[in-house]
Structure 1
């Protein structure tokens, strides 16, 4: 039987990982602490924005019927000032954001008038409502303001502030236990002994997970010991929503994670039809309260870890947060500026994208080996190359966009 007969497609693996995922509980935060958090409820506007008709520029407010006349200035209206009703046969000096006086129905910018000894001379052709921002032209009271499931970016926080809102209900960050396996792994800053390497996956995954909305509540290194691995997985599952390991899910004699997972909970999938990242395990662990904690066992190779995080951890955090934005990576069509030939597994190649007048062009990193983390530094996207394919320069390929999080 060919090896690929036992390998699971990426889409099937993702469906299995997300099956039955429940969103995390909510919490209330001050808006100035809620940047990038996921809104848990729809928000309805309670105020019109702008709250009154106001001037779009510095100029003069007048009645449309007085176009072509020379009018004296009867009042000055700065932003934040209370405008009086417009006196007959007059205009108002007004500044950007100033309230339109009752009775005025147009504004002429200051560069479009002539200042004379008798007043302000206006042109004949002034449109009604010219240079006026109407009340409620941005937001109407009672209309939807923000939708549940969106991440609160700068504009959304400004939208909330425009309603006078100071607190917002958001999803609690999913709690993640991030465990590194292997006696050969040493944290940066410690001296290296023969056969040891620095832990590149932990800082990389920590940053990615935080970007995806997670809260890293446990960091630990698992020794190459079956009982120690089992005990640490059990403890991590009791206080986390997701347990993630790096390494230890292959077939070596010192790879104990898969066996520990099977003894404690269940292994849903192992070995995927993807490159890099074939030895990737998905499963569930009991949390001690009758529920289940999701488990993702990423390969130890740093590129496999990087790719697996984007393909599986990002949508998992999206499901836990109820955030549609995180559910799928944006897909862009690009023209390949390289050649490639794949075997029986789908290949996720690290590429940079150039946006040209002729379209998007993808350039592949020369060395696509799963141990070459430099192929991920500066990568804009993952080019998706289907199994048993030959890509020639100029072919159109799909690329999963990695920027913007």
Structure 2
């Protein structure tokens, strides 16, 4: 090959390289007037930056550098030009403390965006202490919402002291959460770590969640959810439900929770339905290779859930079936380590216990069952009460 040919090839490759990189763009929020002083409301700067990221015809990143940025509220909307958009937060984004500003359903919301990546080792600080037990809001806002999203990734992000739910996932498909750290005091009310509803194919892996409520909650419409290597505590454990309260035919199915650890939680793995409920179903659920460390209720199905206390005599109409508990071991902080309070109207069916080994610091642990049909295989401590 002649030197002239080499030159032509190098020139063409150079053009390809330049054109490819010309499609990549970083939009720094400082360019839009954002101030990392911990006081200025940067909502407008963030949204203006996102507008340009979303419009950019190619790979684009909204960059939040190190520092503390107050944002009173923001909705980052799509659809965008192309899929390759990144929200890179290296700093701390702080929520407002004025109830006139924060009494909304949400604080930060991402919606109608396909292929979004959120990363950067940054922190969402909900500053919830100003609201817990003191607010006059109808409901407290969640920290971050994901609505109508597809094929998105959230990794290496922290959320602390949410006023309400930390991360709320609604009507999404194919979401991947990795290396997420969520924390709030164990006495903080209704601070679920991650809540999933009406969504499918959501994965949560290699994360630490400790809050005042459920570490992870899967409500109506949750399907094909995989939770792996999550450490939960403090909090109320990992919960499925509450089902059957507001809508007919609530369904949660194809849930797999594996290699998780629960430390000093109020519950371990919990499934709950309203006692006074509409028809629904929870099915094809597996809890596998779980470690409990002083969990109050390591294994619990509660189909008599009724916080108000006025419906305990009503039978749940939600069918619970095909639920497997395999290789669950560790310690219970209460004597009754397994509670299966199923519905007389819709008894639990297809419950499988395999190799359960839960000890109690005192007299031997025990089980309690109502209307629970299934089988027990291998080690059973406490002794199984399935029929």
TM-score class, shorter-chain normalisation, is under 0.3
**Structure ranking higher on relative contact order (CA contacts 8 Å, 6+ apart):** 1
* Higher relative strand content: 2
Structure having the higher Rg: 1
* Higher relative helix content: 1
User: What TM-score, normalized to structure 1?
Assistant: 0.20
User: What TM-score, normalized to structure 2?
Assistant: 0.21
